[in-house]
């Protein structure tokens, strides 16, 4: 609308709301004077000559009456006249003050929102309808550990925990479809590897037509709250749960106590009975074997003697099984390769199983060694095989499997006295009838059996259980009716090299001419043993107790071996007798015997190191072999000590004259290497390298430990550092070479100059060295001869 005022001389149309009266003459000068100075270049005569006279323009006008500033918009055109004075402007002008105010308010509001978005302490984000971040604030970036550049364009599913994605996706789809906002607690992944718990409230932003254009999310870090809630849940267990747990723990403790008390009672009972029972069996067995020497021609008498001897052996086995179950059996563990042990039992197992049972043996590659009593583990395997044969009714398949296993913390968590670590697993699996859950629960109980009366003692599995526990292992039965049974035994791994079986178990039982002092309080047993030893050719002395035996030793009577019962009356106990006797006579050999040694020479279920024991009852042949083994060992130790003394007395310069050449080793044979290195990391590295080259290796940290291990095991090569705590590597090598022929490799960072004037052949490996250099040194040591010199 244009006010009714004169509009000549190029004056623009008069806008409304100018506050001009009807009698005011509206001129160009008046109108221009009312325009804000900053906007005058938008209007006025200068604009009439513009190339675009129809251009839209907005400018501010100050009302003439009130001075109020108003915004005016105008658009029009210039109409030329016959003269310059006749030019006219035809157009429209209208008040846009309200619109300009609204726009200003919107700009102010948007600026305020931008400030709030950036400064908010909670995480804010705008996402596309596909779920990608389009705008994020600093709080969200700090919360998720990412910069704004790292966030923009990333899909939210790429940051959400996999377990939370499904629920989040469903709620977002519902939001897009219905516009219904939601709040969800979920986890977001941070680059530092942590998961942050976030409470995310998401809504939909629509345009003027109600169509969704983006998603708005408000996020709050609730990680600490969730942690506190979890802690509160743990603390706020219901009373019922606590009582239930405490009752269960109490019942478990009471059951463990009852089991321990039962085991202790059985142990005490069997221990006391076993000592006397085994003495009786020893008298019967010894007399039967002695009698058998005199009735060779009488077949009837021999048959009856064999039946009686078999009955004695059954009684001895029963006593042994009871001791094993009660964990009172004196174990004599050695470092054994169970794969070889099982392979050597093949013929025995096939005879016991019969032709209708297929025997399958599976031995895993790289099988670790185990510290185990070979005789006891053989009995366990045989008993399990016989049980399996009976469960299969004489026909089926028996699988014996050996492999390496690791029992982790999770597995042993609910077990008693089973530490986590490396084990050798022995599994005996049959295709028999299996066990019901009730039978499985009682399988290890002594005297429990499902066999008909007279066909089983019920001690096979209980004996296996006691032996495995006494060996610090673990045993588990897996069985279902109709699906067969699998018994898995786990025995602790040892990194020591396999021990040679130097105790002959078969072959002729030879005697000797040495003098043996027998110390036995049971008169019947003593007379039987004296007769058996005399029949073997030995010269025999006897004593009823330790005091009498010590007087014989002190008298100067020549004695080569002390053969003493462990449990005897009197003030002088057998271990103390043996210690005093060997102090008086360093060359004296000692052999203990007992039906139940208690804790005198057996601790932790194992025979004390360095002692020899012959358990009662024993056969004449077993006595003969054990005596020769002990006497021969003592003779070798005496010879080694004499050589060492000779070397020390002669000095290092004359040592080479006393050395014997090291025995030849086959070109491709696996070497037995003892590594001596006080740095545990270096020791482990060397052992692994030697093992990679296919050799058997043991590692110790000092010379003293190496010397002790050399007395118990045979090695082909001593691989030692020169500088060691205590005894040096050179001193160790001199002592070892003096005791027995041995190949030596020194590992040193000083070079071969440190090994001048050794007096015996040795190789030197300069640190650092690689696998090829180590292999070359081992190959050179293999081919080493007495003529070689240190190099």
Q: Which residue has the higher pLDDT, 423 or 52?
A: 423
Instruction: Write out the two tokens for 745.
Output: 């490799």
User: What CATH code is carried by the domain that includes residue 621?
Assistant: 3.40.50.2300
* Residue 676 shares a structural domain with residue 775: yes
**The pLDDT value given to residue 791:** 36
Q: What band does 451 get if pLDDT is binned at 50, 70 and 90?
A: low
**The pLDDT value given to residue 639:** 67
pLDDT at 654 over 50: no
Q: What band does 164 get if pLDDT is binned at 50, 70 and 90?
A: very high
Contacts of 54 (CB under 8 A, 6+ apart): 75, 76, 77
Q: How many domains does the chain have?
A: 5
Instruction: Write out the two tokens for 646.
Output: 């000779």
- Which residue intervals of 516-619 are DSSP H helices? 523-535, 546-554, 574-584
* Residue 623 shares a structural domain with residue 721: no
Q: What interhelical angle do 680-692 and 771-782 show, nearest 10?
A: 70
* Residue 367 shares a structural domain with residue 445: yes
In a domain, 676, yes or no: yes
Report pTM: 0.40
Q: Hunting for tokens 């995480």 — which residue is that?
A: 123
d(CA 523, CA 514): 23
d(CA 380, CA 464): 5
| Domain edge (last residue) among 113, 140, 170 | 113
Query: What average pLDDT does range 624-640 have in this prediction?
Result: 78
Whole-number mean pLDDT of the chain?
78
Query: What average pLDDT does range 778-789 have in this prediction?
Result: 60
Q: What band does 686 get if pLDDT is binned at 50, 70 and 90?
A: confident
pLDDT digits 0-9 by tens, 402-442: 999 888 877 777 676 788 888 999 999 999 888 888 888 77
d(CA 399, CA 402): 10
* Residue 667 shares a structural domain with residue 715: yes
* CB of 686 closer than 8 Å to CB of 678: no
Residues in the chain: 791
**The pLDDT value given to residue 133:** 95
Q: Which residue has the higher pLDDT, 132 or 252?
A: 132
Report residue 752 CA to chain centroid gap. 41
| Domain edge (last residue) among 91, 113, 135 | 113
Query: What average pLDDT does range 446-460 have in this prediction?
Result: 63
| Domain edge (last residue) among 202, 232, 262 | 232
User: What CATH code is carried by the domain that includes residue 368?
Assistant: 3.30.565.10
Q: What band does 268 get if pLDDT is binned at 50, 70 and 90?
A: low
Q: Which residue has the higher pLDDT, 128 or 790?
A: 128
**The pLDDT value given to residue 302:** 75
| Residue 718, beta-bridge partner list | 674, 744
d(CA 27, CA 8): 8
* Residue 352 shares a structural domain with residue 478: yes
pLDDT at 443 over 90: no
In a domain, 19, yes or no: yes
pLDDT at 508 over 70: no
pLDDT at 655 over 50: no
Angle (CA) 483 487 488, round 5° = 130
Determine the structural domain holding residue 171 and report its residue range. Answer: 120-232
In a domain, 289, yes or no: no
pLDDT digits 0-9 by tens, 338-362: 988 898 888 888 888 888 889 898 8
- Using DSSP's 3-state secondary structure scheme, residue 713 falls into coil
* Residue 632 shares a structural domain with residue 672: no
pLDDT at 650 over 80: no
**The pLDDT value given to residue 774:** 82
**The pLDDT value given to residue 161:** 95
Q: How many CA within 13 A on the CB side of residue 371?
A: 16
pLDDT digits 0-9 by tens, 285-313: 767 767 777 777 777 777 777 778 777 77
pLDDT digits 0-9 by tens, 1-11: 344 344 444 44
* Residue 143 shares a structural domain with residue 51: no
User: What CATH code is carried by the domain that includes residue 217?
Assistant: 3.30.450.20
pLDDT digits 0-9 by tens, 215-251: 999 999 999 988 888 887 777 666 667 777 778 767 7
* Residue 489 shares a structural domain with residue 342: yes
pLDDT at 168 over 90: yes
- Radius of gyration (Cα) for the chain, nearest Å? 49
Query: What average pLDDT does range 734-748 have in this prediction?
Result: 84
- Which residue intervals of 402-448 are DSSP H helices? 409-412, 437-441
pLDDT digits 0-9 by tens, 189-203: 999 989 999 999 999
* Residue 346 shares a structural domain with residue 464: yes
- Which residue intervals of 120-222 are DSSP H helices? 138-144, 148-151, 162-178
d(CA 633, CA 589): 9
d(CA 104, CA 90): 30
* Residue 368 shares a structural domain with residue 412: yes
pLDDT at 501 over 60: no
564: enclosing H helix or E strand: strand 561-565
pLDDT digits 0-9 by tens, 323-342: 655 555 656 677 888 988 89
Contacts of 724 (CB under 8 A, 6+ apart): 676, 678, 702, 703, 732
Query: What average pLDDT does range 251-271 have in this prediction?
Result: 63
The least confident of 493-507, 539-553, 577-591 is 493-507
pLDDT at 754 over 70: no
Counting residues of the chain whose pLDDT is more than 70, the rounded percentage is 75
* Residue 108 shares a structural domain with residue 125: no
DSSP state of 204: E
The least confident of 113-127, 522-536, 574-588 is 113-127
In a domain, 542, yes or no: yes
In a domain, 264, yes or no: no
DSSP state of 608: P
In a domain, 728, yes or no: yes
**The pLDDT value given to residue 790:** 38
**The pLDDT value given to residue 504:** 47
* Residue 484 shares a structural domain with residue 349: yes
Instruction: Write out the two tokens for 62.
Output: 């100050």
d(CA 339, CA 323): 27
Ranges 308-312, 445-449, 603-607, most confident: 308-312
Q: What band does 606 get if pLDDT is binned at 50, 70 and 90?
A: low
Counting residues of the chain whose pLDDT is more than 90, the rounded percentage is 15
């Amino acid at each position: 609308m244009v006010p009714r005022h004169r509009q000549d001389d190029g004056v623009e149309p008069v806008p409304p709301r100018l506050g001009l009266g009807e009698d005011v003459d509206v001129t160009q000068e008046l109108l221009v004077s009312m325009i804000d100075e900053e906007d005058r270049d938008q209007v006025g005569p200068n604009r009439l000559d513009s190339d675009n006279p129809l251009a839209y323009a907005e400018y501010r006008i100050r009302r003439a009456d009130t001075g109020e500033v108003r915004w005016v918009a105008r658009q029009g055109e210039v109409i030329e006249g016959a003269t310059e004075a006749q030019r006219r402007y035809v157009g429209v002008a209208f008040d846009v003050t309200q619109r300009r105010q609204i726009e200003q308010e919107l700009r102010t509001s948007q600026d305020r929102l931008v400030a709030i978005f950036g400064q908010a302490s909670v995480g804010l984000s705008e996402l596309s309808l596909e779920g990608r971040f389009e705008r994020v604030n600093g709080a969200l970036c700090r919360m998720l550990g990412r910069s704004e550049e790292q966030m923009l364009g990333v899909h939210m599913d790429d940051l959400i925990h996999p377990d939370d994605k499904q629920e989040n996706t469903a709620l977002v789809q519902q939001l897009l479809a219905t516009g219904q906002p939601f709040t969800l607690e979920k986890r977001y992944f941070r680059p530092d590897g942590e998961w942050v718990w976030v409470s995310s409230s998401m809504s939909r932003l629509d345009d003027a037509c109600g169509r969704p254009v983006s998603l708005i999310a408000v996020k709050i870090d609730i990680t600490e709250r969730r942690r506190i809630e979890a802690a509160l849940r743990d603390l706020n267990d219901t009373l019922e749960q606590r009582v239930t747990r405490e009752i269960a723990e109490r019942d478990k403790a009471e059951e463990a106590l009852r089991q321990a008390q039962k085991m202790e009672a059985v142990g005490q009972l069997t221990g006391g009975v076993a000592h006397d029972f085994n003495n009786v069996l020893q008298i019967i067995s010894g007399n039967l074997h002695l009698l058998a020497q005199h009735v060779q021609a009488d077949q009837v008498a021999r048959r009856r003697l064999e039946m009686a001897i078999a009955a004695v052996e059954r009684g001895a086995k029963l006593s042994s099984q009871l001791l094993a179950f009660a964990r009172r059996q004196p174990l004599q563990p050695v470092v054994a390769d169970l794969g070889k042990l099982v392979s050597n039992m093949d013929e025995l197992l096939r005879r016991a199983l019969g032709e209708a049972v297929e025997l399958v043996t599976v031995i895993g590659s790289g099988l670790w060694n185990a510290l185990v009593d070979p005789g006891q583990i053989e009995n366990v395997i045989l008993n399990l095989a016989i049980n399996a044969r009976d469960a299969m009714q004489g026909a089926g398949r028996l699988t014996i499997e050996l492999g390496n296993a690791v029992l982790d913390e999770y597995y042993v968590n609910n077990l008693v006295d089973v530490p986590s670590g490396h084990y050798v697993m022995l599994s005996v699996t049959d295709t028999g009838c299996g066990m019901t859950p009730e039978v499985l629960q009682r399988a290890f109980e002594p005297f429990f059996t499902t066999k008909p009366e007279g066909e089983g003692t019920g001690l096979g599995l209980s004996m296996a259980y006691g032996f495995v526990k006494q060996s610090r292992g673990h045993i588990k039965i897996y069985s279902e009716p109709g699906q067969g049974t699998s018994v898995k035994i786990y025995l602790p791994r040892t990194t020591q090299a396999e021990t040679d079986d130097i105790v002959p178990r078969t072959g002729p039982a030879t005697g000797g001419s040495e003098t043996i002092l027998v110390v036995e309080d049971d008169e019947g047993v003593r007379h039987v043993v004296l007769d058996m030893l005399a029949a073997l050719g030995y010269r025999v002395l006897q004593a009823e107790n330790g005091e009498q035996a010590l007087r014989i030793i002190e008298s100067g009577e020549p004695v080569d071996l002390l053969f003493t019962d462990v449990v005897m009356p009197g003030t002088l106990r057998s271990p103390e007798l043996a210690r005093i006797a060997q102090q008086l006579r360093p060359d004296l050999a000692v052999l203990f015997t007992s039906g139940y040694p208690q804790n005198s020479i057996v601790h932790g279920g194992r025979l004390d190191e360095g002692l020899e024991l012959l358990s009662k009852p024993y056969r004449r042949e077993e006595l003969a072999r054990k005596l020769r083994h002990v006497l021969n060992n003592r003779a070798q130790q005496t010879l080694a000590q004499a050589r060492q003394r000779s070397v020390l007395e002669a000095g290092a310069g004359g040592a080479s004259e006393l050395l014997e050449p090291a025995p030849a080793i086959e070109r491709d044979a696996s070497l037995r290497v003892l590594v001596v290195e006080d740095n545990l990391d270096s020791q482990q590295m060397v052992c692994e390298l030697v093992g990679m080259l296919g050799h058997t290796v043991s590692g110790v940290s000092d010379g003293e430990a190496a010397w002790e291990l050399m007395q118990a095991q045979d090695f082909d090569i001593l691989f030692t550092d020169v500088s060691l705590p205590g005894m040096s590597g050179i001193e160790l090598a001199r002592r070892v070479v003096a005791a027995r022929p041995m190949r030596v490799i020194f590992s040193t960072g000083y070079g071969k100059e440190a090994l001048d004037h050794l007096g015996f052949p040795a190789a030197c490996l300069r640190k650092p060295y690689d696998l090829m250099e180590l292999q070359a040194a081992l190959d050179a040591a293999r081919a080493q001869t007495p003529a070689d010199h240190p190099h």
